[in-house]
Amino acid sequence: MGKEHVIAITNGKGSKEISNGNYTVTAAASGYDSSTISPATQEIIEGVNSYSFTIAATGTLTLHVSDDGTEIGVPIEGAIFYRCDSEGNQYGDAIVTNVDGNAVFNNVPFSVDGTAPTIYFKQTQSDGEHIFSPDLQNTPMDAEAKTIEIANETAPLREFNLTDANYAGLPVMDGSITLTSD
């Protein structure tokens, strides 16, 4: 191969003085599988000064959601999570906990030696009967497969009153109220 040009990438972007021509592309990104860089060849042409590449990882992060944040807690099904960047911007599809309370993020970067990549995520919904933190959370991905515990505590007991609209204060003897979340 010919001359090599190394472009440092920070927060997904890097720049370098480079001339037109055909290039073979390789990559080294913390926690990612270098062989997945795409495209693997790139022609730099006149008039085009920006080029995009993608790369994939093979780690698996499992979020186990329960009512007390422990392995033996009651699992919460239907909690929704998103992968985020450090600013809290969401990427990819929603990941939903299954009947065992597990939400599985596949293809996340990891490193068992050296600095472990930080994986950011955010919960946007629980099952409706439990409360959750909407804050941006993170964990260092220091193993190829990792499970962390997330607590969604039981929502506090609320009281609902249903009275007659025309006879103020007169309680409705029998009935039900249905609340649907947005």
Partner 1 sequence: MKKVKIKCRFSNSINTYKFLIVIYDCNGNLILRKSTNYLGYLYFNAPYYGIYKILVFKNKVLKYYNNIYISKEGCLAFTFILKENYIKTPRLVTFKVTDKIYQGLPIKEGKLILWEKNT
Contact set with partner 1 (CB under 8 A): 1-30, 32, 36-38, 41-47, 49-57, 83, 85-86, 91-92, 106-107, 109, 117-118
Torsion angle of the four alpha carbons 120, 124, 126, 131, in this order, in degrees rounded to the nearest 10? 90
To partner 1, the closest distance from the beta carbon of 37 in angstroms equals: 8
In terms of CB distance, is 26 or 133 closer to partner 1? 26
Specify the 3-state DSSP secondary structure of 107: strand
* Cβ closest to partner 1, residue 41 vs residue 178: 41
Name which of 47 and 156 has its Cβ closer to partner 1.
Answer: 47
Residues shown for the chain? 182
Q: Least Å distance between CB 139 and partner 1?
A: 14
Helical (H) or strand (E) element with 84: strand 80-84
CB of 97 vs partner 1, minimal distance in Å: 18
Between CA 22 and CA 182 the distance in angstroms is: 51
Smaller CB separation from partner 1, 44 or 151: 44
Are the C-beta atoms of 74 and 66 separated by less than 8 Å?
Answer: yes
Q: Which has the closest alpha carbon to 120: 144, 100, 92?
A: 92
Contacts of residue 53, defined as CB under 8 A and 6 or more positions apart, other chains included, come to: 25, 27, 37, 38, 39, 42
C-beta of 28: minimal distance to partner 1 in Å?
Answer: 5
Nearer to partner 1, 32 or 132 (CB): 32
Q: How far is the CB of 70 from partner 1 (least distance, A)?
A: 28
